[in-house]
Amino acid sequence: MNHQELSVVGRRLPRVDALSKVTGEAKYDSDIQLSGMLHGRILRSPYPHARILRIDTGKVEKLSGVKAVITGEDTPKIQYGLLVHDEQVLALGKVRYVGDEVAAVAATDEDIAEEAINLIQVDYEILPAVFTPEKALQPGAPVIHEENPSNLAAQFHVETGNVEAGFREADVILEKRFTIESVSQAVMGPFGCVANFDSSGRLNMWMSSMDLFSHRIGLSQVMNMPIGKINLIRNYCGGAQGGKNLMEPIYPICAFLAQKAGKPVRLYKNREEDFIAGRPRPACTIDSKVGIKRDGTIVARQTKIVQDTGGHAGFSPIHILAYTRGDNLYRIKNSKTDAKAVYTNKTPGGAYRGFGSPESLFAFNSMIDMLAEEIGMDPLDIQLKNGARPGTISPHGWKIGSCGLTECLGKVAAETNWRERRSRKIPGRGIGLACQIHASDMRYWRGFMGSVTFVKILEDGKVLVNTGENEYGQGIETVEAQIVAEVLGIPLEDVRIMEASTDTAPFSIGPVASRGTISGGMAAKLAAEDARDQLFKLASEMMESNPGDLEMRSGKIYVKGSPERFVTIAEVAQFSQSREGGSAIIGKGIDRRDTDYVFVCPPPGKDQKRPVQTCVHFGNPSSAYFFSAHVVEVEVDTETGKVKVLRIVQADDLGKAINPMMAEGQTEGGTVQGMGFSLAEELRRDSKGRVLNASFLDYKPPTTMDVPEIKVIHVESNEPLGPFGAKGLGESSQNCSGGAMANAIYHAIGIRITSLPITPEKILKALKEKSGLNQSSQKSSYR
């Protein structure tokens, strides 16, 4: 396809949802108000680890205005979780973190609900708690799940080549430990839902979710209800960032309250609850060992990752696999990675944009910088020498199709005058480089891992798109609308995205794992092409010509070469619908590319209740991979330890920008999140496992005052398997942030920080240690 001819795709057009969002018209899940709606509240555990001896709800039931009270005893004893089934709707027998759900009420207003949960009396037997994986794995450590006394929730191993032989070839071997703290997605839209049962017993829900279909499956299992009895209604979602894709307890709790009360219930976490009982990116420790030759060839790499999983591990087997995805950034022949997920008495971990790669690529991009110094080479050259190339097979067997990594590195280097700037020492100022790979869509299950879109042609020539994908700010509605408009040769204004629910929308995997554009976009393209073929067939009947001789432009179908012979799309749609035996024109698009990928997590054996999940994987998990490079320039105040980010230049290989303005905005946002992740954000806890900074004021996401100049460069590598050459993009930025920041800080002040976030305290401490070291080395003549 000649992209020069594109008229809608590739243009900086306003989003299709922008008008409704700037006027306050856009309806979010939390805007839903139903008549007679009750307000729910959850009673949460004040202890990190305790046995529940008794729950007395007697006083609550007598309180006027309370319509339902539920505890673990009122909900089915079904254990759920994506891969490890270790969670209940409400705690049964035990609580495992501060914030664990113990009981819930629904009342006629929020004040009564609040009063009611305070009247619930719970007798706890406090158990010893454990807050680090290291301690949790020690013999005699408190057991968090009795079914699995080891506290080891999952482990994953992946190996290519011969690491020992590889290290023997190395001229320099470096080993370093990296630690990464837990961070919250901290999105603006609150987390929760409104649930209502109709008189036939069907559950209707409006929820803050990235994806409705996976939640329909989850609710069906936990509530023991058939899929057909659950309808999840799509609304705008106030941001997700990966944090709204798990079946968290709040949804079934709300549904059970609504069922018991016989009335609609609204249940949302307040901001504090979101910080203490969300599903944050969990902390982890990464031990990295890398061997390199003097010519810059990386010959071996060994990585050990331990995740601090928290009280539940449903998601962990995938998460620890995800840490290893960054391994594929380089063409390394000998590579071995082991990852473990370990239970602790902390908030269970979840997904946050980048999912594993912000952590692992912080470690690896830092290692490259350190190795560069060891062998006296520019880190840019090491990245260029070892980085992924088009048409290669990665260490894990990924088939790298389009790959603009070399171009991304070249562009950020040129834009920042990298080599010259790096060789020039300016006191307190430094420049750092990092790059990343990410999978465009992870198709890790057997069976359908794709997306479906329907396109309806209306009698006035306008077009409705019914997509299975959800909009949470990332822009999938606009991407699909632009693609449909392009295929049908009509302006973007003529395409509208339909309101939908799980009843009406076609089943899709949902916009997780950066798959919206490549999978949803492809489904939209196929649906529009199907509709176009139907239009051509009908138009050929109307104009008595061959469908192959027709072309589409500006809402009209022409006989090629005869500008006077045309029918409008509206006329064809009317003809189709009004003739004998006719019908509306509906195009159907299915993106159903399956991969040869295998991810195995064996189910529990017969004699074991819940053993450690030992997972392996092989094959190519994704249709395409996207790449980026960042150069960050910082200024470090050595008096206060404060890092000021001066400028960020990033190049993103996104295949093709369907909408360059949106693509820039998406990664600019990710880059600013990455600044927070790298320099400031962490969920801090006291010695009793309580989160100390459970508010925006104390957690401190970046504000307008923190943001530097950000320049985004698009590298269009034209992915053959993507719609109009496009692939994923959304999760790129944070993958580069940690490494680029740490490297820039090192360049500025010669201090290597291997622990995120790089706070002023850590910098000052390291500066102090370094100056102590300098003094002692001056004394001892040799160092």
Residues that bind another protein (CB under 8 A): 12, 14-15, 17-19, 21-28, 30-31, 33, 185-190, 236-241, 270-271, 472-475, 661-662, 664-666, 668-673, 695-697, 701-705, 707, 710
Least distance (Å) from another protein to the CB of residue 49? 29
Q: Closer CB to another protein, residue 10 or residue 311?
A: 10
Q: Cα 565–567–571 angle (5° rounding)?
A: 160
How many CB atoms sit inside 10 A of residue 30's CB? 21
Distance, in Å, from the CA atom of 345 to the CA atom of 98, rounded to the nearest integer, reads: 8
DSSP secondary structure string for all residues of 665-702: HHHHHHHHHHHHHHHT----B-TTS-BS--SHHHH---
Helix (H, G, I), strand (E, B) or coil at 236: strand
Q: Closer CB to another protein, residue 146 or residue 272?
A: 272
Q: Closer CB to another protein, residue 31 or residue 146?
A: 31
Q: Closer CB to another protein, residue 21 or residue 768?
A: 21
Least distance (Å) from another protein to the CB of residue 25? 7
H/E/C letters for each residue in 155-194?
EEEEEECCHHHHHHHCCEEEEEEEEECCECCCCCCCCEEE
Helix (H, G, I), strand (E, B) or coil at 320: helix
Least distance (Å) from another protein to the CB of residue 204? 19
Least distance (Å) from another protein to the CB of residue 543? 39
Q: Closer CB to another protein, residue 32 or residue 286?
A: 32
Helix (H, G, I), strand (E, B) or coil at 738: helix
Nearest to 509 by CA among 748, 218, 280, 212: 212
Residues whose CB is less than 8 angstroms from the CB of residue 582 and which lie 6 or more positions away in sequence, other chains included = 575, 576
Q: Which long-range contacts (CB under 8 A, 24 or more apart) does 699-702 make?
A: 699/184, 699/186, 699/275, 700/676, 701/186, 701/673, 701/676, 702/672, 702/673, 702/675, 702/676
Helix (H, G, I), strand (E, B) or coil at 772: helix
Residues whose CB is less than 8 angstroms from the CB of residue 86 and which lie 6 or more positions away in sequence, other chains included = 79, 145, 147, 148, 153, 312, 313, 314, 610
Q: Closer CB to another protein, residue 116 or residue 127?
A: 116
Least distance (Å) from another protein to the CB of residue 520? 17
Q: Closer CB to another protein, residue 118 or residue 695?
A: 695
The strand pairing partners of 180, in sequence order, are 284, 756
Buried b (16+ CB within 10 A) or exposed e, 543-576: bebeeeebebeebbbbbeeeeeebbebbbbbbbb
Residues whose CB is less than 8 angstroms from the CB of residue 4 and which lie 6 or more positions away in sequence, other chains included = none
Least distance (Å) from another protein to the CB of residue 26? 6
Give the H/E segment covering residue 778.
helix 760-779
Indicate the DSSP class of residue 387: B
Q: Closer CB to another protein, residue 280 or residue 314?
A: 280
Cis peptide before 264 (omega within 30 of 0): no
Least distance (Å) from another protein to the CB of residue 23? 7
The two structure tokens encoding residue 381: 């050259």
Sequence length of the chain is 783
Least distance (Å) from another protein to the CB of residue 184? 10
Least distance (Å) from another protein to the CB of residue 13? 9
Q: Closer CB to another protein, residue 28 or residue 618?
A: 28
Least distance (Å) from another protein to the CB of residue 206? 13
Least distance (Å) from another protein to the CB of residue 662? 6
Question: What are phi and psi for residue 362, nearest 5 degrees?
Answer: -60, -50
Helix (H, G, I), strand (E, B) or coil at 336: strand
Q: Closer CB to another protein, residue 127 or residue 691?
A: 691
Q: Closer CB to another protein, residue 355 or residue 398?
A: 355
Least distance (Å) from another protein to the CB of residue 757? 16
Q: Closer CB to another protein, residue 14 or residue 619?
A: 14
Q: Closer CB to another protein, residue 403 or residue 663?
A: 663
Quote the radius of gyration of the chain (alpha carbons, Å).
27
Least distance (Å) from another protein to the CB of residue 280? 14
Q: Is the dihedral of CA 362, 364, 369, 370 positive or negative?
A: positive
Distance, in Å, from the CA atom of 161 to the CA atom of 47, rounded to the nearest integer, reads: 47
Q: Closer CB to another protein, residue 386 or residue 673?
A: 673
Least distance (Å) from another protein to the CB of residue 167? 41
Least distance (Å) from another protein to the CB of residue 270? 7
Q: Closer CB to another protein, residue 229 or residue 271?
A: 271
